[in-house]
Structure 1
Amino acid sequence: MLFRWFFRIFLAMFAVGMVSAMLLVFAALVILPTLPSLDTLTDYRPKIPLRIYSAEGLLIGEFGEERRDFVKFAEVPVSLRQAILAAEDDRFYQHHGVDYIGVLRAIYSNFTAGGALQGASTITMQVARNFFLTKEKTLTRKFSEALLAFKIEHSLGKDRILELYINQIYLGQRSYGFSAAARTYFNKPLGDITLAEAAMLAGLPKAPSRFNPVVNLERAKTRQQYVLRRMHELEYISEKELARARKQPIAIHRPVRVFAMPASYVAEMARQVVYQRYREEAYTRGFKVYTTLRKTDQDAAYRALRKGVMTYDERYGYRGAEAFLGLPKQRADLKNTLQGIRDSDDILAALVLSVSADSIEVYLKSGETIRISGNGLKPGRKFMTNDAKLGDQRIRPGALIRITRDGKNSWQITQLPQIEAALVAIDPADGAIRALVGGFDFNLNKFNHVTQAWRQPGSSFKPFIYSASLEKGFTPATIINDAPLFLGPEQTGSKPWEPKNFDGKFSGPIRMRTALTHSKNLASIRILQAIGPVYAQDYIQRFGFDGKQHAPVLPMVLGAGSVTPMQMAAGYAVFANGGYRIHPYFIQRVEDDTGKVLERVRFATAAKNAKQVIDPRNAFLMTSMMQDVIQRGTATRAKALGRNDIAGKTGTTSNYIDAWFCGYQKNLVAVTWMGFDEPKSMGRNETGGRTALPIWIDYMASALKSAPVANPSPPRGIVVAKINPETGLRDQYGTLNEYFFQEQLPPETDYLYRDFGITDQLENQLF
């Protein structure tokens, strides 16, 4: 009887088993045809972001939703491989996609724990899920995952499967793959991580948000200790290695992406170029763009521009608190109050907590509380008041202000400037952009003033007209009359005009060299009158200017047209390189994720394959005259550089709306500009020499620090002659030496008629 009872039970169980097996087979037959192709795995192309690099190969920008670096299996540290196996699938190399022993272990663990705590997913099953399936917790999804795991194991080797896992798995902080996670959490290449760091990374796949060391370091360490213990149990590491790794301190890198240099404007320029060619693939195919920027130049340009802008801003005083945000009821909510408000490099957003007669206490986004007193309060003292007329400009609890450290490393009140500036530096030999700063802060104003700002160049445009006059027979010694002038509408193209010099004075007959050195407006207008505005409009196009932006009228010589700083840099490069037209460029090459070069820039080089647009003698004479601008003219501040091989020209527009300095040395051209986005006066006497030139000097002091002084010889066809500084004529007793085109030597002074006043020869040169 008992035997019969057991036999019936056996038959029932056998029947259930057979039915279950048949159901599983049936389900497999139904699901197998619907499983996706493994092409995604066999031809694995991870979504690698677009990365922008400097000329030295330093990262300056990254674009893409996923932070990812693809690494080959052989490049993954052994300690990390072992840590991953210990944490996720220690029988990876023994099973065939589904670990039955692991499943039984998980079932037992879940039963004894009274709930579903372990999932028994192998690394192969996780690869199947990460590439092809959703994360929904259903029996159908789990069964499909197992079938896919078998399929993957049948098609790929174990090392390849583990490689896919290592590169694809999400590990928090927008990081996909262990290489990206190593950079995100430790700011290290994957090959440089320690055993302790490898164990912490290996603990992330289980729950990236829960074990994120940025969010909760203690919880991450607990998981790390578990991984290390498992590595020891599996005999991957020794007792000593375990003890050492447990004690090893770990420095967590905060996930604020800091690039090798502040070059956001160039990174954005590169992104736009690549996107125009590849559209959305630009952000997923791992393109690498190598630019022409040099770190030393870019760092110097960035520092110089910000210093110049802040110096200007400080001249006009503190404007009060930036806004009133109010204080939250709970101190824990202070961070939320500042959420969305950006710092600007070393200019930090600060929420005022309290104000007393001699100090204020502020809260920073970092969670730090700062007390400011003494000289640090000086800029904002008049706003530390209860005067309701000041409105939200008052510095009171709840006010948003900015603070920074002064030269003595003490905190002080400051503010974000309202004015903007730009700096671009290029190699005049081929147009390679060495530094570009398109504004004070890219995160606050993405408008690129180097390439997008069309502004009046003021007197910095005069050299191009003077160059044109040299082609028409003028010389640096030609006498020009710097005298009052009245022009009617037919001459200006608009309203009657009575131009004046900056100082309001007139110098009478002066040499052309002197006129440029001291930026004499009246003399310059007479030069343009003599050569003709239409000729000048055509001539300036040799330098890359758009003739449509420069009407053929007399105000053209004073910079009444429109230019960009980039155009001015290209124009001045013609003078610097001996007369050749070059085209500024900032991308050297574009590579794919394997290092294959997809595009390489083709550039023209001066004296090789670039077009010669002006006589090299013309370029030499213009450089000589613009060297005088620095040595004894409107840019004498630049003498502080202690060099005699630099040349340039200041520029200031009417009512001090735009300020420029365009200057160069034989191997480097730099242009600086300052002004408001909505054009308005910067203030009386805010000239190019006062606002733009200091930025140029600070940049060049660094950029030319190791460059030897260049003293090029005059090109063939240039002769030197003594002249009379009053008449501009050759004079054997003259006190000045001047350069001339060989065929344009002025006549010699006729001493037979010197007592009869002005000579006929001099009279013919006056205008």
Structure 2
Amino acid sequence: MTLKRFVKLILLIVTPIIIGAVIWSVRLYVGISERIQNGWFPPPIEIYAPGIKLQAGQYLAPESFKQELKDQGFIERQRSGPLQESEFEKLDLESCQRVLPEEIDPLAKDCYLIRPKKPADLVAVVISIDASLKQLYSGEPLSPTSQVSFRPTLLAQEFEGQLMSRKYSPLSAFPLLCLQGITAIEDKRFLEHSGVSLSGTLRGVYGLITGQRELGGGSTITQQLVKNYFLTSERTISRKATEIIMALILEAMVDKDTILENYLNVIYMGQNGPFQVRGFAAAAENYFSKPVEKLELHECAFLAGLLNNPGRFSPFRKDPSPGLQRRERVLEKMLENGFITDRQKQIASSKPLPKRTTDDEIQPAPYFIDAIRKDLRAKGVDLEQGIRVFSTIDLRAQKSASKALNSALNDIVNRHETLKIKEKGGQKLQAMVLSADIKTGQVIALIGGRDFRTSPFNRAIDAHRQVGSIMKPIVYLTALETLTESGTPYSPMTVLTDEPWTYKYDRQSWSPVNYDEAFRGPIPLFWALKNSINVPTAKLGISVGLESIIDTAKRIGVTSPLKPFPAITLGAFELYPMEVLTAYLTIARFGSRVQTKLYTRVETLDGRLILEPRSEQDQVLSNDKAAQLVGMMKNTLASGTAQSARAWGFSHTAAGKTGTTSDSRDAWFAGFTPNVLTLVWVGYDNNNKHGLTGASGALPIWSLFMRDYLKGTENLDFQWPETVEAVDVSKSEIMEIVGPELWEKVPEKTELVFPVGER
């Protein structure tokens, strides 16, 4: 082969490669340009929690209030000097008196000084020995006020479908020590190279070929930005080549400050439950509960070290020593580069690593956020445009609900050997909690399972389960709206018969049985409901009409299709929990139906209104009939199937209903005080039997949550409509109806609700 032919051959081989490389590079350049032109960061979905509302005289346990401030993003001051934004300080009473414009109350026990974000004023709170908010002040100078409302607090963010915790900060906000720590450990020649380190790249490629990952990727800060912003974390030679070319292009397009600033705001810094922690500012708040500009040397060094492997170097691992060693390595590099003195290094090395202070399941409430996202999609809201959602979540309620669910479920499983065996075999008993404010219909707590990370299926909104006895009140409500066979109105004292019974229809027969397989003879209407007795309920349902029961269910909020089969009287149909919540809200509101809400407003990032749920209410039931039903349901907790709530420490006045499906696959409890309604479900996702009832499975969760959430609040009774009145029915009157075998179960007096003048 002649030299001329050899050169031609080489050109034939090399030319397509060069052309391909040029075209590839141009495409990469165009891709980078488009992303930068559209903004470095896509518009987020921001979800906010309502700010704290304080009112003079309210119950305010000091420790829970302190935690509530932290949940809202406030940081407890640990230094002297004036309070900065989003800081609070607990003052001793002597110091408190010096800042107050008047004499401190003699019963004062705790005092807090709070500095919200601007433009809000300084706030002072004085809590008495009985845990009531005794004195409340705001303004500068402080002056007495009756109430204070804090601004909504950012709960969570979503970027391009990924749940993230990210807070953008300009480069100028970062302490110099943080920038020096990052460059010292990650890229000491950052200001000198053109985007790629030759020695580091060769080391990284060698590691990929040999499988020696401990050699590191050799990536510069520019390459890491490319990987995190434009590419994936895939470890292949082709991806590495793309990363190198894109890093060189990026360095030619933007300055070093822009690269570093965006790197510091996009880099992965660990997990907070299901939420990625992205960027130094979010990491500063996640690990140290402080803004990035207030980070100290030991904190900067730790976060710089975390960049390499957030999972391995996390301070929240059982063994945090790798994180400690990595921080020490960063400090050594900073010392070598002359960024710090030996004395500074010694002080920083002596500092402990941060400790976890919040529950991943509570902050930032993944099931609640999942429910909001799905609801917005169902309503056609464009989630790509960037929106703000002002949720209805009560962070204290959410935390109490999560703790109650996990605590009670663990206790239930540990007390039942069959459940323990199933759990060891991989079948995890699940539960959900929904709680709402009765006045507004706003959902204040939503827990869709035990752990979103391992089980993201949201049972609170997506589970379609058989409801069982929890829907018996619909039968009794329908009866209260109709007349008996003799033409008289049904009332709580109308006599039903509990005896063997068969209903024949369409060449079929149906013979319902009671849970305990016993029969009680004649019993009052309220007795059958509070004790959830099947046979008289089924007979009552057939008597008032299956179509009428379906009509009642639809009016109060049931949307799932229902068929007029006899078993519908005992809840043999499936509903979504939100349907049950809506139905019970209508009952608790004495027949006034209101839309349940997960948020109060949705707007664009510049404040333009997109969606605002309606607040109208519809009176779909006679309020006196609904009040009679609520009066009967109070007896469920007083002396019926839910009376064990008292043993769990719940002491407020409430009404409710247990629910157990006939095959023990679903356990429910719905109960409400005059202000708060809570619904609980317990079961297996695969629909296996668990043998629990509403009282033994769901009620413990409900009781623990309502006990903790309502702690210290006034025990209010229901405010009955003017057309009805509460009457104490004597034991002797009830004993005239029921058989002798039930006499010892009859309370000395039973409060029931009747139309005025009918008793």
What is the aligned counterpart of 1:230 among 330, 337, 356?
337
Is 1:566 aligned to residue 578 of structure 2?
Answer: yes
> How far 1:314 sits from its partner (Å)?
3.4
Counterpart Cα distance in 2 of 1:722 and 1:218: 71
> 2:468: which partner in 1?
458
Is 1:651 aligned to residue 659 of structure 2?
Answer: yes
Counterpart Cα distance in 2 of 1:475 and 1:526: 14
Native 8 Å contact 1:203 1:224 kept in 2: no
What is the aligned counterpart of 2:632 among 597, 621, 625?
625
Indicate the structure (1 or 2) with the bigger Cα radius of gyration.
Answer: 1
> 2:719: which partner in 1?
713
Task: Mark the CA change 1:432 to 1:128 in structure 2 (over 3 Å): closer, same or farther.
Answer: closer
> 2:497: which partner in 1?
482
Task: Mark the CA change 1:583 to 1:279 in structure 2 (over 3 Å): closer, same or farther.
Answer: closer
Counterpart Cα distance in 1 of 2:656 and 2:185: 65
> 2:328: which partner in 1?
221
Is 1:703 aligned to residue 714 of structure 2?
Answer: no
Counterpart Cα distance in 1 of 2:468 and 2:312: 56
Task: Mark the CA change 1:475 to 1:193 in structure 2 (over 3 Å): closer, same or farther.
Answer: same
Task: Mark the CA change 1:52 to 1:245 in structure 2 (over 3 Å): closer, same or farther.
Answer: farther
Task: Mark the CA change 1:141 to 1:647 in structure 2 (over 3 Å): closer, same or farther.
Answer: closer
What is the aligned counterpart of 1:449 among 459, 468, 491?
459
Counterpart Cα distance in 2 of 1:122 and 1:547: 57
What is the aligned counterpart of 1:548 among 561, 575, 591?
561
> 1:14: which partner in 2?
none
Native 8 Å contact 1:649 1:661 kept in 2: yes
> 1:44: which partner in 2?
39
Q: What amino acid is the match of 1:499? A: P
Native 8 Å contact 1:229 1:242 kept in 2: no
> How far 1:700 sits from its partner (Å)?
1.4
Deviation string 1:645-690 (CA, Å, 9 cap, x unpaired) is 200112223243433222111111112223344445434xx43223
Is 1:582 aligned to residue 594 of structure 2?
Answer: yes
Native 8 Å contact 1:420 1:677 kept in 2: yes
Task: Mark the CA change 1:262 to 1:465 in structure 2 (over 3 Å): closer, same or farther.
Answer: farther
Counterpart Cα distance in 1 of 2:262 and 2:155: 25
Look up the SS of the partner of 2:574 in the other structure.
Answer: coil
Between Structure 1 and Structure 2, the one with more strand by share is 2
What is the aligned counterpart of 1:300 among 400, 403, 411?
400
Deviation string 1:618-637 (CA, Å, 9 cap, x unpaired) is 22211111111221222221
Identical columns (%): 28
Native 8 Å contact 2:413 2:420 kept in 1: no
Is 1:258 aligned to residue 355 of structure 2?
Answer: no
Native 8 Å contact 1:476 1:738 kept in 2: no
Counterpart Cα distance in 2 of 1:655 and 1:561: 13
Deviation string 1:141-176 (CA, Å, 9 cap, x unpaired) is 9999778656545xxxx8656534533567799876
> 2:755: which partner in 1?
741
> How far 1:534 sits from its partner (Å)?
1.5
> How far 1:541 sits from its partner (Å)?
0.6
Task: Mark the CA change 1:614 to 1:288 in structure 2 (over 3 Å): closer, same or farther.
Answer: same
Is 1:196 aligned to residue 298 of structure 2?
Answer: yes
Counterpart Cα distance in 1 of 2:498 and 2:556: 30
Counterpart Cα distance in 2 of 1:193 and 1:718: 63
Task: Mark the CA change 1:242 to 1:465 in structure 2 (over 3 Å): closer, same or farther.
Answer: same
Deviation string 1:101-139 (CA, Å, 9 cap, x unpaired) is x99xx9xxxxxxxxxx9xx99989998999899999999
What is the aligned counterpart of 1:615 among 607, 622, 639?
622
> 2:444: which partner in 1?
434
Native 8 Å contact 1:82 1:231 kept in 2: no
Native 8 Å contact 1:482 1:520 kept in 2: no
Q: What amino acid is the match of 2:501? A: F
Tell me the matched-pair count.
584
Is 1:64 aligned to residue 162 of structure 2?
Answer: yes
Q: What amino acid is the match of 1:73? A: L
Q: What amino acid is the match of 1:602? A: P
Q: What amino acid is the match of 1:178? A: F
Native 8 Å contact 1:199 1:228 kept in 2: no
> How far 1:242 sits from its partner (Å)?
3.6
Counterpart Cα distance in 2 of 1:452 and 1:614: 28
> How far 1:429 sits from its partner (Å)?
2.2
Look up the SS of the partner of 1:656 in the other structure.
Answer: coil
Task: Mark the CA change 1:163 to 1:535 in structure 2 (over 3 Å): closer, same or farther.
Answer: same
> How far 1:454 sits from its partner (Å)?
2.9
Counterpart Cα distance in 2 of 1:442 and 1:150: 43
> How far 1:194 sits from its partner (Å)?
1.0
Is 1:500 aligned to residue 513 of structure 2?
Answer: yes
> How far 1:439 sits from its partner (Å)?
3.1
> 1:636: which partner in 2?
643
Task: Mark the CA change 1:73 to 1:504 in structure 2 (over 3 Å): closer, same or farther.
Answer: same
> How far 1:470 sits from its partner (Å)?
1.7
Counterpart Cα distance in 1 of 2:590 and 2:311: 63
Counterpart Cα distance in 1 of 2:477 and 2:310: 69
Q: Compute the TM-score of the two structures, normalised by the length of structure 2.
A: 0.63
Q: What amino acid is the match of 2:433? A: L
Counterpart Cα distance in 2 of 1:181 and 1:736: 58
Look up the SS of the partner of 1:305 in the other structure.
Answer: helix
Native 8 Å contact 2:44 2:387 kept in 1: yes
Q: What amino acid is the match of 1:741? A: P
> 1:674: which partner in 2?
682
> 2:613: which partner in 1?
602
Task: Mark the CA change 1:68 to 1:623 in structure 2 (over 3 Å): closer, same or farther.
Answer: closer
Structure 2: 5+ residue stretches without partners? 1-21, 51-71, 73-152, 201-214, 315-321, 484-488, 738-747
> How far 1:536 sits from its partner (Å)?
1.8
Q: What amino acid is the match of 1:699? A: F
Native 8 Å contact 1:262 1:299 kept in 2: no
Greater displacement, 242-251 / 125-134: 125-134
> How far 1:204 sits from its partner (Å)?
7.9
Counterpart Cα distance in 2 of 1:565 and 1:133: 41
Greater displacement, 213-222 / 628-637: 213-222
Look up the SS of the partner of 1:669 in the other structure.
Answer: strand
Look up the SS of the partner of 1:450 in the other structure.
Answer: helix
Native 8 Å contact 1:86 1:231 kept in 2: no
> 2:87: which partner in 1?
none
Counterpart Cα distance in 2 of 1:480 and 1:253: 62
Q: Compute the TM-score of the two structures, normalised by the length of structure 1.
A: 0.62
Native 8 Å contact 2:557 2:586 kept in 1: no
Structure 1: 5+ residue stretches without partners? 1-27, 107-116, 323-401, 403-413, 729-733, 747-767
Task: Mark the CA change 1:77 to 1:523 in structure 2 (over 3 Å): closer, same or farther.
Answer: same
> How far 1:575 sits from its partner (Å)?
1.8
Task: Mark the CA change 1:494 to 1:416 in structure 2 (over 3 Å): closer, same or farther.
Answer: farther
> 2:536: which partner in 1?
523
> How far 1:187 sits from its partner (Å)?
6.7
> 1:76: which partner in 2?
174
Q: What amino acid is the match of 1:299? A: K
C-alpha root-mean-square deviation of aligned residues, in Å?
A: 5.2
Q: What amino acid is the match of 1:610? A: Q
What is the aligned counterpart of 1:249 among 351, 364, 388?
351
> How far 1:694 sits from its partner (Å)?
2.1
Task: Mark the CA change 1:79 to 1:598 in structure 2 (over 3 Å): closer, same or farther.
Answer: farther
Q: What amino acid is the match of 2:512? A: P
> How far 1:600 sits from its partner (Å)?
5.0
Native 8 Å contact 2:157 2:165 kept in 1: no
Task: Mark the CA change 1:245 to 1:459 in structure 2 (over 3 Å): closer, same or farther.
Answer: same
